[in-house]
Amino acid sequence: MRLNLVTVLSVLAPLAAASPLDLLGLAAWDVEGFAKDNPIGTTTGGKGGATVTVTNAAEFSAAVAGDAPKVVLVKGEIAFPARPKIGSNKSIIGVGSTAHITNKGLDVFNSTNVIIRNLKISFIQDNDCITIRNSTRVWVDHNEFASDITKGPDFFDGQVDIIRGSDYVTVSWNYFHDHWKSSLVGNDATFRDIDSGHLHISYHHNYWRNMGTRGPAGRFGHQHIYNNLYVDFHYQAIHSRSDNQVLVEGNVFRGDTREALSTYGLVIPDDSPNTCTCGDEELDGFANLGAKNDWGTAGVNITQVGNFKKAPYKFKLTPLVLVAPLVKLGAGVGKI
């Protein structure tokens, strides 16, 4: 019998208190990247605060309000009638594989130090699954985001949108699937002054499958995008425009993925045909390539090489050959 990595890890999983991935040193399981290493402090969420368990929208909204540190455990499915606003110093953590948010998504507005882990968020109406706006130190980890890609680009909105001068965010080990627009960073070319110098975001070990655009799409910021797996990301995965900078390394692209990375200012018609069927022209962005990526058959379209050559922190880079099995094994809910 030939033991592959997946078999080895699944045998080790129940034995290890921490993740077997941590054990083997192949990838970070705890917070890593801009939400950890930044000038204003590591993201700790509700650490040190009371722990409360919530099972409905009213309990959830009450528990996440205000700035007192709190760990909020979420049990079962909650169909929100309105978007809850998550205050500072909160950890929102799903219990087992039960936590499922539908109908309305979550707002992190004017907050700092927020952790969102182990939630399934699907079929959100009229807005994003999570909007992070004017907020700092947010860790979005081990969640699952899904809807229905056959409804086209504008039926559902984004999955994790990060806007209005937000900073020091890490988006890790999430499973994004069956959805058109994934993650928009900087939502409007008119917010140049508010966004420039902010929007430092790390994306690592996310699994994107059967998606349309924005994996992520950034304006005005810096995104370090490493060790993600893209399968059937149909139109455009990583898009850097309006002077945005991306550092792209150790990612794997598979299946029907037209464009892995582009710095053209053009917002392709497949992204926002509601604005103009010809697309929407902005300034180009910048891209740097670090450790080798596996582009598969996807295109790479870099018009400007930037100066974001190296992450300003230490991180564990998974060997390229192990990215696909590791991400498939570790991403999504029920893993932490």
Ligand X SMILES: *[C@@H]1O[C@H](CO)[C@@H](O)[C@H](O)[C@H]1NC(C)=O
Q: Which residues are catalytic?
A: 214
Minimum distance of ligand X from residue 221's CB (angstroms) = 16
Judged by CB under 6 A, does residue 71 bind ligand X? no
> Is the Cβ–Cβ distance between 118 and 148 less than 8 Å?
no
Whichever of 7 and 110 has its CB closer to ligand X, that residue is: 110
Minimum distance of ligand X from residue 13's CB (angstroms) = 33
Q: Which of 61, 112, 187, 318 binds ligand X (CB under 6 A)?
A: 112
- Which residue matches tokens 């930044």? 38
Alpha carbon distance 241, 149 (integer Å):
24
Q: Which of 262, 288, 293, 318 binds ligand X (CB under 6 A)?
A: 262
Q: Which of 13, 52, 65, 69 binds ligand X (CB under 6 A)?
A: 69
Whichever of 106 and 146 has its CB closer to ligand X, that residue is: 106
Q: Which of 134, 196, 272, 304 binds ligand X (CB under 6 A)?
A: 134
Q: Give the sign of the dihedral formed by CA 46, CA 49, CA 55, CA 61.
A: negative
Residue 57 is classified by DSSP as H
Q: Which of 264, 286, 295, 308 binds ligand X (CB under 6 A)?
A: 264
> What is the per-residue burial (b if ≥16 Cβ within 10 Å, else e) of 223-256?
bbbbbbbbbbbbbbbbbbbbbbbbbbbbbbbbee
Minimum distance of ligand X from residue 322's CB (angstroms) = 29
**Sequence-separated (6 or more) residues with CB below 8 Å from residue 282:** 189, 219, 241, 242, 265, 266, 267
- How many residues belong to the site for ligand X (CB under 6 A)? 16
Whichever of 23 and 266 has its CB closer to ligand X, that residue is: 266
Judged by CB under 6 A, does residue 76 bind ligand X? no
**Segment contacting ligand X by CB under 6 A, of 6-14, 220-228, 264-272, 284-292:** 264-272
Q: Concatenate the DSSP letters of all residues of 71-125 into one string.
A: EEEE-SEEE-SSPPBP-SSEEEEE-TTT-EEEES-EEEES-EEEEEES-EEEEE-
Alpha carbon distance 181, 271 (integer Å):
7
Judged by CB under 6 A, does residue 61 bind ligand X? no
Q: Concatenate the DSSP letters of all residues of 188-207 into one string.
A: -GGGHHHHTT--EEEEES-E
- Which residue matches tokens 């670090």? 290
Footprint (CB under 6 A) of ligand X, residues 81-110: 85, 88-89, 109-110
Q: Which of 232, 166, 216, 171 is nearest to 195 (CA)?
A: 166
Whichever of 69 and 255 has its CB closer to ligand X, that residue is: 69
Q: Which of 67, 126, 148, 281 binds ligand X (CB under 6 A)?
A: 67
Q: Where are the extended beta strands (E) located within 27-82?
A: 50-54, 70-74, 77-79
Whichever of 194 and 317 has its CB closer to ligand X, that residue is: 194
Whichever of 258 and 328 has its CB closer to ligand X, that residue is: 258
Minimum distance of ligand X from residue 288's CB (angstroms) = 18
The half-sphere exposure of 239 on its side-chain side, counting CA atoms within 13 A, is 30
Minimum distance of ligand X from residue 112's CB (angstroms) = 5
Judged by CB under 6 A, does residue 196 bind ligand X? no
Whichever of 168 and 207 has its CB closer to ligand X, that residue is: 168
Minimum distance of ligand X from residue 133's CB (angstroms) = 7
The four Cα atoms 184, 188, 194, 195 give a dihedral, to 10 degrees, of 30
Judged by CB under 6 A, does residue 188 bind ligand X? no
Judged by CB under 6 A, does residue 242 bind ligand X? no
Residues near ligand X (CB under 6 A): 67, 69, 85, 88-89, 109-110, 112-113, 134, 262, 264, 266, 268, 299, 301
